[in-house]
Structure 1
Amino acid sequence: MALCANVVVLGPAMGFGYSAVAERAMRAEKADGDLQLDAYQANWMATVSALGTPIGCLLSSVVMGRGRKISMYVTSLISMAGWVTIYMSNSYVQILVGRSVSGIATGMASVPTTVYVGEIAGPKWRGTMVTWTSISIALGVLIVYIFGYIFQDNWRLVALICALFPLCAIALALLVVPESPLWLRDRNRPDEALEIMKKFRGIPKDQPAPAEVLFELKPRQQKKNQNVLKYLTKRSSLVPFGIMVGFFFFQQFAGIFVVIYNAVIIMDKSGVQVDPFFGAILIGIARFIASLLTAGVSRKFGRRIPSVISGIGMTIFMGGLSLYLFLIEKGTVMADNGVVPVICMVMYIFTSTLGFLAIPFAMVGEIFPSKVKDILSGMTVALGYVFSAITIKMYPNMEKLMNMYGVFLFFATISLIGVIFILLFLPETKGKTLREIEDMFSTKKKVFELQSVAERVVEEVIVPTPVDLLQRN
């Protein structure tokens, strides 16, 4: 079911890489009078998608209240509508509309899927399975790069093929994927929740649910209405919010999404001797492999070490590419046959995925206090995508002003400053409970630590029986 849920991510994720493979075909002269874009319009084609993404992030929290299954269905429906609109576009405005709709779907895609997988997975597999969303995003980008390589001159066909993925996701959401049992539990539908949870845990219908399953479905204690603004202004909320917004700032202004959105054009202008579309595929492969490694690296080394290594790698490879292009600009003859730019670009994406690209998205689910997690996580990711839209829109002007080597030197500099930021401010959350993470930013650490110890002692002594759980239900 987790794999089926992650199919929902593929179609929206392709929107990240579509502008990279479609821009050259859209800007080429058409003998049949088909739609043609200039450089300014092509840049807006990429930017409007990034502008729609934060809207989707905020919208997902609203739709998720109607159900995890419904949110996945709506996300896929919006994604398919965006791709079909692009395919049928006969004007520049229609392309912008299609790309905007696709961007909204991109913003909506990851949160419901991650939450659903987290709610259905057992404790042993949960930490690994929630990373499948980032893997699915990387796979979606790689697939659209491959389609762009095969159909280099047919951006309409690429859009149409991309529409097939959300169509499959709609079928899975309607026919295969059940609703989250925890969502059903919170909506006072315990019988349905228990039936579905027994399926997920491999328990036959005619057998009673064991204690651990009943414990998973134990209703949460209802709290009285409290002032959310009060919790938003606490130090335990403001400090992690500032840290995460800063992390997303360095993530985006280090050029990660600029490279993803413009991979083919950047490869073409960087002196690469291979087909730029094939170079984009290499970038997609590097990101996909790194996303597979990220879960294990983060689980073993935590958050800070991979982030620091990631930033250092980004600085080295962007700085190396900048120096390479600067030397060529000054007339130096390189005997590498364009191998160095390929290595620098691929390794930049690889190292960025190990830390700067993946870890901020993972940390928003654990660093904020539970009372304001939904609000602050949505706001943080939305701001991250706003930064993305700004960098994508600025990129052509920066290239004209600073030349390509100047832009890459800027990205390298921001990456280095980001490393310093991580060393000074980013907390380590490895091995800590959500409560302990919250206590790191609180002014009452000692009190919380004593309470935490007391609670652990009580939990070790008092073990609820199945009868107790049923009575509490």
Structure 2
Amino acid sequence: MMKNPHKVLPQLMAAVVGSWGYFCMGTSRGWGSPGLPSLNRTLDFEMDADDFKWISAVPMCGSFFGALVVSIPMQYFGRKKALVGHYLLYIFGFLIAGLTCFGKHKAMLYIGRILQGLAVGCTTPACQIYVSECSSPTIRGRLGSITASSLALGIWVAYIIGAFVEWNTLSFIFSALPVVFLLLTCLMPETPIWLLTHGREDEARQALQQLRGKNTNVDAEMRRMKEHHEKTDSGKGSIRFADLLTAPVLKPFGISLGIMFFQQATGINAMVFYTVSIFQSAGSSIESRYATIIVGGVQLVFTIASGFLVDRYGRRVLLLTSAAITSISLASMGTFFYFQRIWGEATATELLGWLPLVSLIVFFVAYSGGMSNVPLIIMGEMFPSQYRTMLGTLSSSFNLFVTLAIVRFFPDMLLQLGNDVTFFIFAGCTVTSIAFVYFLLPETKGKTLEEIEGIFRNVKKHEKAAEAEQAALATVSTQFTHIFDNQCGLVSHTMFPPAEEKDVERGFVF
């Protein structure tokens, strides 16, 4: 329930508009599933089997570089301007891909898909960091999960439209939508944190007021942000390599890389890019294009639903539950292909033809319930503010590099290892992620971005309490009237505990 809708609605609007880049990412990723079979069916220019593999995977090549390059405009021009600029890449990428039907040369298709990939790379850090920096701690998880919902919506829309139009028409449609998103983004404020870190305090206050509602008192939040900025900025200077090896930076960065790896090691993007092909190879009795629409719809619904759970149950619980069920569904998919190899395709389809669809639906339900959005939320909130742009882009680049490797070599894995072994490998990676999350990922639910930074500093709770106690005792002074030799005066003194009482009953907290 919204306790203060006037405070939440401006943040919700910023999160929705800031997340539309993920919708475009979804259309780019989802394009391959209906687009490649359509391209193969209507092909009237030279392309071979390897070209089809690379046309599917090449956006991930571009996205790797896009995620690195976007750090420059994000840092120097702002999160909002980075979002506005990256929509141009989507517009021209889809437009050039669609025009391939007139140019009759695969080079145009490659160029279009590379531009889409650059835009995809820009989307991941720019959108997620924008949404995180605009959101209040109590609803940051819910608003941060809108990005994953937008991604799922984009994929689903690509499935639906792609089922009824050819690949080039699909490209033209997806070149028009980013124009609308670009115009809406221009109406949104810059993030208060970015404005504050660039010495624009008055603008930061105005942006914060706009995001929290005109009747909300933002003094306390502004003061907290300003104090944290002054504390972290006092010794900042230029970023040195040695700074990146300190625990407050290295720990969250390593955890984020691990979560990003396991997110892609589920094979999610292989599923998205090759959903039609998976159903065809499984010999499913349901027509593949309709099966993909069902799967995409299920993914969308449960991704949205998970957004309402992430701030209620926390990041860890959702990730652990999601990984457990996802691994079971992957194992069941591998089991089907195992029996298909043992029994033959006809017998396996007759007896277990329903299993691929059920397994994929369960997979997308479980994946959407945690592994789809929580890694992105973590990336947007866990890094120290000073390094957030740089680490966010590096983390996104790593995620996209893993995506590229899996999407590009997924067909080769199916050919060399077999369908069953491939899915069993995905299941094994997902099971491993359970241990990773359980032992290494701290809970960040409901914490401010400043409090999350404190989690990774090597300051134990008892040490912080002792520091606070000593600071308080050292500054306590009393003034009282002291009568001595018929003279009155004010005496100021500091109160300390007796030496023998120091550190009494001070235990260790682990």
In the superposition, the TM-score normalised over structure 1's length comes to 0.85
1:470 counterpart residue number: none
2:50 maps to a residue whose letter is Y
Matching of residue 379 in structure 1 with residue 390 in structure 2: no
Q: Which amino acid aligns with 1:17?
A: G
Q: Closer, same or farther in 2 for the Cα pair 1:115/1:454, shift >3 Å? A: farther
1:382 and 1:337 map into 2 onto residues whose CA distance is 39
1:87 partner letter: G
1:75 and 2:86 aligned: yes
1-structure distance, mates of 2:384, 2:199? 25
Which of 330, 351, 355 is 1:340 aligned to? 355
Instruction: Please state if 1:63 is matched with 2:108.
Output: no
Q: Deviations over 1:418-464 (max 9, x none)?
A: 22333343333345555554455444425763378679999xxxxxx
The one of 7, 29, 33 equivalent to 1:20 is 33
CA distance in 2, matches of 1:410, 1:77: 38
| 1:95 aligned to which of 86, 98, 109 | 109
Within the candidate set 416, 428, 442, 1:427 is matched to 442
Give the equivalent residue in structure 2 for 1:464.
none
**Aligned pair partner of 1:105 in 115, 119, 127:** 119
1:273·1:337 contact (CA, 8 Å) conserved in 2? no
The change in CA–CA distance for 1:362 and 1:190 in structure 2 (over 3 A counts) is closer
**Structure of greater Rg:** 2
Q: 1:183 to 1:8 in 2, by over 3 A?
A: same
Q: If the length of structure 2 is used for normalisation, what is the TM-score?
A: 0.79
What letter matches 1:146 in structure 2?
I
Work out whether residues 286 and 349 of structure 1, in 8 Å CA contact, stay in contact via their aligned partners in 2: yes
Contact map agreement 1:29 1:36 (CA 8 A) in 2: no
Q: Does residue 159 of structure 2 align to residue 145 of structure 1?
A: yes
2:170 paired with 1:158: yes
Return 418-427 or 181-190, whichever deviates more.
181-190
**Map 1:248-263 → 2, pairs under 5 A:** 248-263=260-275
Moved more, 140-149 or 106-115: 106-115
CA distance in 2, matches of 1:432, 1:330: 52
> Is the Cα contact below 8 Å between 1:79 and 1:105 reproduced in 2?
yes
Residue 316 of structure 1 corresponds to 328
Maintained 8 Å contact 1:26/1:37:
no
Q: 1:422 to 1:190 in 2, by over 3 A?
A: closer
CA distance in 2, matches of 1:398, 1:148: 26
Deviations 1:247-299 (A, max 9, x none): 22222222111111211111221222212122112221122122212223322
Q: 1:329 aligns with which of 318, 326, 341?
A: 341
> Structure 1 CA distance, aligned partners of 2:199 and 2:274?
48
Secondary structure, counterpart of 2:427 in structure 1: helix
Aligned to 2:364: 349
Q: Distance in 2 between matches of 1:197 and 1:436?
A: 19
Q: What is the one-letter code of the residue matched to 1:393?
A: R
Matched residue type, 1:88: L
Distance 1:448 1:303, change over 3 A: farther
CA RMSD of aligned residues (A): 3.1
Q: Are 1:234 and 2:246 counterparts?
A: yes
1:214 Cα deviation after fit: 5.7
Q: Note the C-alpha offset of 1:381.
A: 2.0
For 2:53, the aligned partner's letter is N
Alpha-carbon distance change, 177 to 303 in structure 1, aligned in 2, over 3 angstroms: closer
Partners of 1:333 and 1:186 in 2: CA distance:
61
Determine what percentage of the aligned residue pairs are the same residue: 24
Kept after mapping to 2: 8 A contact 1:10/1:165: no
- Residues 210 and 456 (structure 1 numbering): CA distance in 2 closer, same or farther, change over 3 Å? farther
The farther-off stretch of 371-380 and 134-143 is 371-380
Aligned partners of 1:48 and 1:293: how far apart in 2? Answer: 32
Q: Does 1:5 align with 2:18?
A: yes
Unaligned residue ranges in structure 2 (runs of 5+) = 1-12, 474-510
User: 78-87 or 55-64, which moves further after superposition?
Assistant: 55-64
**Matched residues in 1 for 2:308 and 2:210: separation?**
28
Q: CA deviation at 1:8?
A: 3.7
Q: CA deviation at 1:157?
A: 0.2
The Cα of 1:200 is off from its aligned counterpart by 4.1
Alignment of 1:382-397 (within 5 A): 382-397=397-412
Q: Displacement of 1:25 after TM fit?
A: 1.3
- One-letter amino acid of the counterpart of residue 359, structure 1: V
Q: Secondary structure at the match of 2:337?
A: helix
For residues 471 and 181 of structure 2, the distance between their equivalents in structure 1, rounded to whole angstroms, comes to 42
For structure 1, the 5+ residue unaligned runs are: 459-473
Rate the CA distance shift 1:385–1:454 in 2: closer, same or farther, 3 A: farther
Segment of structure 1 superposing worse, 180-189 or 268-277: 180-189
Contact 2:384 2:453 in 1 (8 A): yes
Cα deviations across residues 192-226 of structure 1 (Å, max 9, x unaligned)? 5555554444438xxx9774576478584242415
Structure 1, residues 360-419: CA drift from partner, whole Å, max 9, x if none?
222123333444333223212211110111111111111111222221122122222222
User: Quick check: 192-201 or 249-258, which moved more?
Assistant: 192-201
Number of aligned residues: 450
Q: Residue 407 in 1 paired to residue 418 in 2?
A: no
Residue identity in the other structure for 1:47? A
Aligned counterparts, 1:85-234, within 5 A: 85-89=96-100, 90-122=104-136, 125-151=139-165, 154-174=166-186, 176-203=187-214, 211-212=219-220, 215=223, 218=226, 220-221=229-230, 222-224=233-235, 225=237, 227-234=239-246
User: Which residue is equivalent to 2:482?
Assistant: none
Q: Aligned partners of 1:128 and 1:81: how far apart in 2?
A: 32
**What are the superposed Cα offsets for residues 167-195 of structure 1, whole Å, 9 maximum, x if unpaired?**
11122234x33444554444444555555
Change (3 A) 1:393 1:413: same
Compared CA separation, residues 53 and 452, structure 1 to 2 (3 A): farther
What is the alpha-carbon distance in structure 1 between the residues aligned to residue 454 and residue 199 of structure 2?
A: 32
Which of these residues, 416, 419, 435, is aligned with residue 431 of structure 2?
A: 416
In structure 1, what is the Cα distance between the partners aligned to 2:381 and 2:130?
16
Look up the equivalent residue of 1:251 and give its one-letter code. Q
Whether the 8 Å contact between 1:85 and 1:98 is mirrored in structure 2 is yes
Select between 415-424 and 184-193 the one with higher mean Cα deviation.
184-193
Cα 1:440–1:177 shift into 2, 3 Å: closer
Q: Helix, strand or coil: the match of 2:417? A: helix
Report the CA distance between 1:44 and its aligned residue: 0.3
Post-superposition offset of 1:133: 1.4
CA distance in 2: counterparts of 1:210 and 1:343, whole angstroms: 49
Would the alpha carbon gap of residues 180 and 428 (structure 1) be closer, same or farther in structure 2, given more than 3 Å must change? closer
Q: Which amino acid aligns with 1:107?
A: G
